[in-house]
A and B are shown apart, each in its own frame.
Chain A
Amino acid sequence: MRRLIALFVLCIIGTVTSQAYAHQPVMDMAPRWNGGYGAQTRITHANNTTTTWVEGVYTFKPALRMTLKVPYRDGKNGDAIFAMPIKRYKNAGASTSNWGLTPSVRMPTGGGNDWDAGLSLSYSSESKGYYELYDIYRLGDTTGIDINAGLSHADGKGSSWFTLWDISARDSDSGQHLLTGPVLVYFKRNVIVRGEYKFLALDNDKQWDGDYLSIGIGMVF
């Protein structure tokens, strides 16, 4: 019931703030500890374009992080995105959850002149064997909703698997599209590997073409 309420609230706020701008944090799961930091690289293929992302995160304290994402495509840097995820955690017995509010800014490091502000609201929860993340954001002319939910399997020796299903909906000036598909996340101590494949389930977007593939690896310290 609480999960349904969280999703409902996210949708309402997303509607209310549709004139604002938002963005998703770099790493939602880790590092969660004071002074933690990490980096990851992801390769995504979408819209017939391959992009390499270099991403970094620094955690001042569990409630405050700083992230930077820099894309590289077609032989040059794209627009970097800087964000400050603010989180409120709740630990209760065998579960942990958090609400996140993430202001962000997209900087014209790719050669343009436009700066875009963004804002995202997220909720994620993990209990033994289950994980879920809901994120709604606006960045530039795009409003997005991301949902990850599924099973987690820990071996008790420092590694765990997440088998999730992802739903990503986007609404921008060029139209709407919805991608959905499986996500696999693997943790081994401080190494994170994430792979996802999403197919185009709804296409009313003049600028979007085809499926989405992403694979990334990161480390936290």
Chain B
Amino acid sequence: MGFKNLATPALLVLLSALISAPAWTTNYEIDVNGIVCEFCAFGVAKKLRKLDFIDPSQFEDGVKVDIENQRVYISIEKDQPSNQEIIFEAIKSGGYDPIKMSPMNEVASSVEVTQ
């Protein structure tokens, strides 16, 4: 078996590995004043899900709202441009006041990305 015969499958395996490599995503928790009801949660989640850098494979389409503790969880794709100001502005446009945003953990996203 010549080099050419081996090179093609090896290249395919390498490409396949690159294509299906998992992205990394970071989860954050955000304390939000006043978010005590389910329809409050609906509006805030709706605004956050529209942000480009939210990883929809985590939580519920990238966002989870805990009205018991007035906390919002979001998942942000790593290396995606994002900042707290944009996230806080989305929450405010949903009608509520964010207080503090803290990183939780880094997890492998189930969204496959082309590298």
Verify if B30 is at the interface (C-beta below 8 Å from A): no
A30 touches B33 (CB 8 A): no
Q: Which of B35, B37, B44, B94 contacts A160 (CB 8 A)?
A: B37
Query: In residues 153-192 of chain A, which contact B (Cβ within 8 Å)?
Result: 154-156, 158-160, 187, 189-190, 192
Q: Does B67 contact A (CB under 8 A)?
A: yes
Tally chain A residues at the interface, Cβ within 8 Å: 33
Q: Which residues of A contact B100 (CB under 8 A)?
A: none
Best-buried of B42, B66, B93 by chain A (most CB within 10 Å): B42
Residue contact A36 to B43, C-beta cutoff 8 Å? yes
Q: Hey, which bits of chain A sit against chain B, CB under 8 A? A: 29-36, 61-62, 89-96, 126-128, 152, 154-156, 158-160, 187, 189-190, 192, 220
Contact residues of B between 1 and 16, Cβ < 8 Å to A = none
Q: How far is the CB of A89 from chain B (nearest CB, A)?
A: 7
Asked whether, in the complex, the Cβ of B66 is within 8 Å of the Cβ of A156, the reply is yes
User: In the assembled complex, which residues on chain A have CB atoms less than 8 Å from the CB atom of B37?
Assistant: 29, 96, 126, 152, 154, 160, 187
Residues of chain A contacted by B43 (CB below 8 angstroms): 30-33, 36
B93 in contact with A33 (CB, 8 Å) = yes
How many of B's residues come within 8 Å of A, CB to CB? 24
Residues of B participating in the A interface, judged by any CB pair closer than 8 Å: 32-44, 46-47, 66-68, 70, 93-97
Residues of A within 8 A of B94 (CB): 32-34
Known contacts A89-B95, A128-B68, A156-B68; A187 and B34 CB within 8 A of each other: no
Q: Which residues of A contact B33 (CB under 8 A)?
A: 91-93, 96
Query: For A34, what are the chain B residues with a Cβ–Cβ distance below 8 Å?
Result: 47, 93-94
Contacts of B97 in A (CB 8 A): 91
- Which residues of chain B are within 8 angstroms of A89 by Cβ–Cβ distance? 34, 95
CA distance A127 to B67 in the complex (A): 10
A91 and B34 in contact, given A33-B94, A62-B95, A156-B68 (Cβ under 8 angstroms): yes
Task: Please state if B39 and A30 are interface contacts (CB–CB under 8 Å).
Answer: yes
Pair B95/A159 contact, Cβ less than 8 Å: no
Alpha-carbon separation in the docked complex, A107 to B103 (Å): 53
* B46 lies within 8 A of A33 (CB): yes
State A189–B93 Cα separation when bound (angstroms).
18
- Would you call B41 and A158 a contact (CB within 8 A)? yes
> Which single residue of chain B is at the shortest CB-CB distance from A93?
B33
Report the Cα distance A126→B95, complex, angstroms: 14
How close is A160's CB to chain B, nearest CB, in angstroms? Answer: 4
Question: In the complex, what residue of chain B is closest to A221 when comparing beta carbons?
Answer: B46
> Given the complex of chains A and B, what is the CA–CA distance between A193 and B24 in angstroms?
41
